[in-house]
Structure 1
């Protein structure tokens, strides 16, 4: 592993894997990337784990540095929460339901005046919450998500 990284991609969430990939491709240390994002090195390291939920501000800074839309980073976070939080076989249905909910919410918020329009972060969070409410009555058992 290059650049003194003590963390392995297979230990990381999808967001974490993308952070490590960015560090490798740009020949940075984790400390240098954290400095560029404007967070601490332990804070950046925390963003790499499966249970991480960075703030909207941190996600925007990471996305800006990595050249990705913030909603892509948030999508990776929620995909991991579903993948590692729900029993096998349910994850694909949940992911599709969340993607569908995001599309519907985006269509609905287009009529909002710009100053009242929710951020992409809020749209994705709303879609996840609504989707989980729909799936809960079916008796789905959660693992990690139930703890949050």
Structure 2
């Protein structure tokens, strides 16, 4: 029997700073392990871009503001009705959140001329923090990233 009193409403909030610049990132989105979360951010209206996490393309947004889920594993845990890109706001709802979902979601442009390296868009994206319990201990943890 697991003592649940160790982790009653355990939410750890701390300021995470960028180890390179010392800057404090914007407040992120917090999700409970196994639960749903809506990730959203405001940005400059851009016709075409990609949303990435850890070098994986998750979403592709085309000139008609159409959002396509590019990642096959993620496709099974996204509510298609929640995908939205209108007037500079991007959002999606993710179900069954796992620790690997934590991290920085960022926007990237694909250049049309050499060198064909993706360009990360400044001030475009969101950090997702996952809060939950280790399955083998009754302690709380928070998964976070340093940008």
Same fold per superposition (TM over 0.5): no
Please state which structure has a larger fraction of its residues in helix: 1
Higher relative contact order (CA 8 A, sep 6+): 2
Q: Please report the TM-score for the alignment, with normalisation by the length of structure 2.
A: 0.28
Please state which structure has a larger fraction of its residues in strand: 2
Q: Please report the TM-score for the alignment, with normalisation by the length of structure 1.
A: 0.28
